Amino acid sequence: MGANPSSFKGANNPVENVSWDDAVAFCAKLSALPAEVAAGRVYRLPTEAESEYACRAGTTTGYSFGDDAQDLGEYAWFSDNSGNTTHGVGEKLPNGWGLYDMHGNVWEWCSDAEGSPRVYRGGSWDDDAASCRTAYRGTVDPLSLNYSYGFHLALSSPSGKSPEAEQGKLSRGCCGQYEDTSGQLPNQAVSTGVATPATMCFHAFPELFQNVETI
């Protein structure tokens, strides 16, 4: 994308200060890389339903780990423990499917729209525990920029099988390493625990966000 717009820069910090339009543009550029085109992989923002499904990890409680907000600090960076900054992904406990940072750290843009406003999910480093609940949602103009807005990506698999089953080379969890056997991409954090057949969750890391033109 040419630059890292984040207010809080760090090798493993999630990209933030990106609008919905910025996130969609990133999806398009990543999907257009020759290696991705050859493999038939298309990256996009997850739907709101996919985002909540991945966060819940099969639970029906207020959070992926239960109903007690006192336990949130073990799973998320939020206003009580963040020190007013984002943190490297994967530093807290994952949910039951091995997905990290599904609560807190940065809000995650979803593809859904309610008229003009776009939906975001997950809570952030700057929000209280109630805003990090699995079912909590917000909407805002797609051009809005904020140091708490970031995103996960969904990867559509051309065969309809999960990328993990199809490729056999992706490690589990948003802070797992992408084992790149093609030589086209640097190691990045990817999660493959989402049980919906054609999607997985992909953290946008600063290096990839900044160098998508050249990798």
Lowest-pLDDT choice from 53-57, 74-78, 92-96, 183-187? 183-187
Q: Amino acid identity, residue 69?
A: A
Q: Is residue 189 part of a domain?
A: no
Q: Is residue 2 part of a domain?
A: no
By CB atoms closer than 10 A (0-12, 13-18, 19+), residue 188 is middle
User: Domain limits at 78?
Assistant: 20-156+201-211
How confident is the model at residue 167, as a pLDDT?
41
* pLDDT tens column, 115-155: 899 999 999 999 999 999 999 999 999 999 999 999 999 98
Q: Is residue 13 part of a domain?
A: no
Q: Is residue 118 part of a domain?
A: yes
Number of structural domains the chain divides into = 1
Phi/psi for 107 (5° steps) reads: -65, 150
How confident is the model at residue 114, as a pLDDT?
83
pTM recorded for the entire structure: 0.74
* pLDDT tens column, 147-179: 999 999 998 866 555 444 444 333 223 322 222
How confident is the model at residue 103, as a pLDDT?
98
Enumerate the β-bridge partners of residue 170.
178
Q: Is residue 92 part of a domain?
A: yes
Q: Residue 189: in which H helix or E strand, if any?
A: strand 189-191
Q: Is residue 107 part of a domain?
A: yes
Q: Is residue 76 part of a domain?
A: yes
Give the whole-angstrom CA distance, residue 204 versus residue 162: 20
Q: What is the CATH number of the domain that holds 146?
A: 3.90.1580.10
Largest CA distance in the chain: 47
Q: How confident is the model at residue 16 (pLDDT cuts 50, 70, 90)?
A: very high
Q: Is residue 132 part of a domain?
A: yes
